[in-house]
């Protein structure tokens, strides 16, 4: 069933179109390798609802992490934490009901946020990527108004590399965050060089977002709650992490010498 969600997300198929493809698309049949009856168009929706209402999705994710650790793909030199917006339909303004009473396609849980000079409505995906193997180790979905620094995905004793948005925020792990100029004197030349080194380490952490948004076309969602957005985002994250663990591609830029200087 997870494979069905991956195909559905990859080719932007509705539940009805997915049911038709399962019945006639030979490449889908070979990929899924169904031994029993082919699921109908209602099965993906029912499975997503089951994932939303139970802890099965977390169990699947933890099993994937366990398999990666068993292959020796453990966290070696810390992780990168970052976040990106997931836009959604705000709907028309007015006194229409929201929350559980809403009967429209517009987002029930989505909120507004501003970054630079642009406004975003919807949600935000926070993820943690391994520095050495560039594998996704943890994710969390919130509304768009939740600031990056309010979510901590690090674990005790683990170096966590953050951009200026995480400056001053407490972390369970060892925070290695870019400095941000505050009131008073500007950043020194040493601080700017340090920020540049951290930026080089953090650069590969943007790749999962790029693949999810461009290949899987998941930058905009039509689902209406945080829980359903989480289920939808797990669909592209699972294969990206699994394929990455199989390739075990190391970074071109070695971070070992850089991390010791920070």
pLDDT in tens, 129-150: 999 888 899 999 999 999 999 9
87 and 183 both lie in a single domain: yes
Half-sphere exposure of 36 (CA within 13 A, CB side): 3
227 and 109 both lie in a single domain: yes
Half-sphere exposure of 167 (CA within 13 A, CB side): 11
Q: Which of 180-184, 204-208, 220-224, 244-248 has the lowest mean pLDDT?
A: 244-248
80 and 44 both lie in a single domain: no
38 and 8 both lie in a single domain: yes
Q: Does residue 91 have a pLDDT over 80?
A: no
The pLDDT of residue 243 is 53
Q: Confirm whether 164 is domain-assigned.
A: yes
Show the CA angle centred on residue 134, arms to residues 219 and 71, nearest 5°: 125
Q: Does residue 251 have a pLDDT over 50?
A: no
Q: Confirm whether 68 is domain-assigned.
A: no
Residue 220 bridge partners (DSSP):
87
Q: Does residue 248 have a pLDDT over 70?
A: no
Q: Which of 32-36, 162-166, 207-211, 237-241 has the lowest mean pLDDT?
A: 237-241
Average pLDDT, the chain: 82
How many angstroms separate the Cα of 215 from the Cα of each of 122, 149, 202, 212?
20, 28, 21, 6
Q: Which residue has the higher pLDDT, 179 or 24?
A: 179
Q: State whether the Cα torsion 109-9-148-189 is positive or negative.
A: negative
Mean pLDDT of 118-124: 94
Q: Which residue has the higher pLDDT, 107 or 125?
A: 125
116 and 239 both lie in a single domain: yes
Determine the Cα–Cα distance for residues 27 and 207; give it in Å rounded to an integer: 27
Length of the chain: 262
- pLDDT tens digits along 164-217: 999 999 999 999 999 998 887 889 999 999 999 999 999 988 888 888 888 888
Show the CA angle centred on residue 65, arms to residues 59 and 68, nearest 5°: 145
The pLDDT of residue 106 is 65
The pLDDT of residue 99 is 54
Which of 231, 210, 215, 235 minimizes the C-alpha distance to 134? Answer: 210
Q: Does residue 249 have a pLDDT over 50?
A: no
Determine the Cα–Cα distance for residues 29 and 16; give it in Å rounded to an integer: 16
Write the DSSP assignment of 103-164 as a string of letters. Answer: -SSS-SS-EEEEETTEEEEEEEEEEEEETTT--EEEEEEEETTS-GGG-----TT-EEEE-G
147 and 249 both lie in a single domain: yes
The pLDDT of residue 96 is 53
Mean pLDDT of 227-234: 83
| pLDDT classification of 160: cutoffs 50, 70, 90 | very high
User: Domain residues for 50?
Assistant: 1-54
| pLDDT classification of 250: cutoffs 50, 70, 90 | very low
101 and 141 both lie in a single domain: yes
Structure tokens at 49: 């609802």
Number of domains in the chain: 2
Q: Confirm whether 229 is domain-assigned.
A: yes
188 and 89 both lie in a single domain: yes
Which of 83, 50, 106, 57 minimizes the C-alpha distance to 223? Answer: 106
4 and 115 both lie in a single domain: no
Which of 132, 95, 83 minimizes the C-alpha distance to 233? Answer: 83
């Amino acid at each position: 069933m997870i494979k069905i969600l991956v195909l559905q997300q990859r080719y932007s198929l509705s539940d009805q179109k997915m049911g038709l493809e399962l019945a006639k698309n030979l490449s889908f049949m070979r990929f899924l390798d169904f031994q029993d009856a082919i699921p109908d168009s209602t099965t993906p929706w029912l499975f997503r609802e089951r994932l939303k209402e139970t802890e099965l999705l977390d169990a699947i994710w933890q099993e994937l992490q366990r398999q990666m650790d068993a292959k020796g793909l453990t966290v070696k030199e810390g992780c990168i934490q970052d976040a990106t917006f997931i836009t959604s339909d705000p709907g028309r303004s007015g006194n229409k009901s929201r929350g559980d009473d809403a009967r429209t396609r517009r987002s029930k849980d989505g909120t507004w946020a501003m970054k630079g000079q642009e406004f975003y409505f919807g949600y935000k995906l926070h993820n943690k990527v391994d520095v050495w193997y560039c594998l996704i180790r943890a994710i969390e979905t919130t509304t768009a108004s939740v600031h990056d620094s309010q979510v901590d995905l690090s674990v005790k004793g683990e170096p966590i590399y953050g951009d200026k948005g995480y400056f001053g925020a407490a972390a369970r792990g060892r925070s290695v965050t870019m400095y941000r100029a505050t009131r008073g004197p500007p950043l020194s030349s040493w601080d700017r060089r340090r920020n540049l080194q951290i930026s080089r380490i953090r650069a590969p952490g943007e790749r999962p977002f790029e693949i999810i948004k461009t290949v899987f076309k998941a930058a905009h969602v039509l689902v209406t709650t945080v829980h359903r957005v989480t289920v939808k985002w797990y669909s592209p994250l699972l294969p990206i992490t699994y394929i990455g663990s199989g390739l075990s591609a190391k970074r071109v830029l070695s971070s070992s010498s850089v991390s010791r200087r920070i």
